[in-house]
């Protein structure tokens, strides 16, 4: 899973890093148009929110912890990646 943080401090550190990168928008990079990239990223986010009804997750860390707890209760077979196999997963493929 991308951005899977175990302690909350790592998650908060990542958020600060992402915010700091956004502040460097004025920095010129010869082969990368950061302003264009940010604009396109926002357009895709807005499009997905509109088309699929996505909502912002206010606390990503707390959300992931809750998802893990709920999934743990559904597992019938643990796996080395921590995701596990859950009952009824075969129905998703049908």
pLDDT of residue 24: 55
Q: Which of 5-14, 22-31, 37-46, 85-94 has the highest mean pLDDT?
A: 37-46
pLDDT tens for 31-83 read: 888 889 889 999 999 999 999 999 988 888 898 888 888 888 888 888 887 77
pTM value is: 0.59
| pLDDT attached to residue 1 | 47
Residue 25 reports pLDDT greater than 80? no
Q: Rounded to whole angstroms, what are the CA distances from 49 to 24, 40, 45, 55, 82?
A: 26, 14, 6, 6, 29
Q: Which residue's entry shows tokens 């209760």?
A: 73
Average pLDDT of span 9-23: 81
User: In this model, does residue 21 exceed pLDDT 80?
Assistant: no
**Sequence spans of domains, the chain:** 1-56, 59-94
Give the CA-trace dihedral at 80, 86, 90, 94, to 10 degrees: -110
How would you class 14 by CB atoms within 10 Å of its CB: exposed for 0-12, middle for 13-18, buried for 19 or more?
middle
Residue 69: per-residue pLDDT: 84
* 92 Cβ neighbours under 8 A, 6+ residues apart: none
């Amino acid at each position: 899973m991308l951005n899977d943080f175990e302690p909350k401090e790592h998650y908060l550190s990542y958020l600060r890093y992402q915010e700091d990168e956004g502040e460097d928008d004025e920095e010129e990079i010869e082969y990368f148009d950061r302003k264009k990239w940010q604009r396109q990223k926002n357009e895709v986010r807005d499009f997905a929110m509109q088309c699929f009804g996505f909502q912002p997750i206010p606390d990503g860390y707390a959300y992931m912890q809750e998802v893990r707890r709920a999934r743990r209760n559904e597992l019938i077979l643990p796996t080395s990646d921590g995701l596990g196999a859950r009952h009824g997963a075969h129905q998703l493929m049908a």
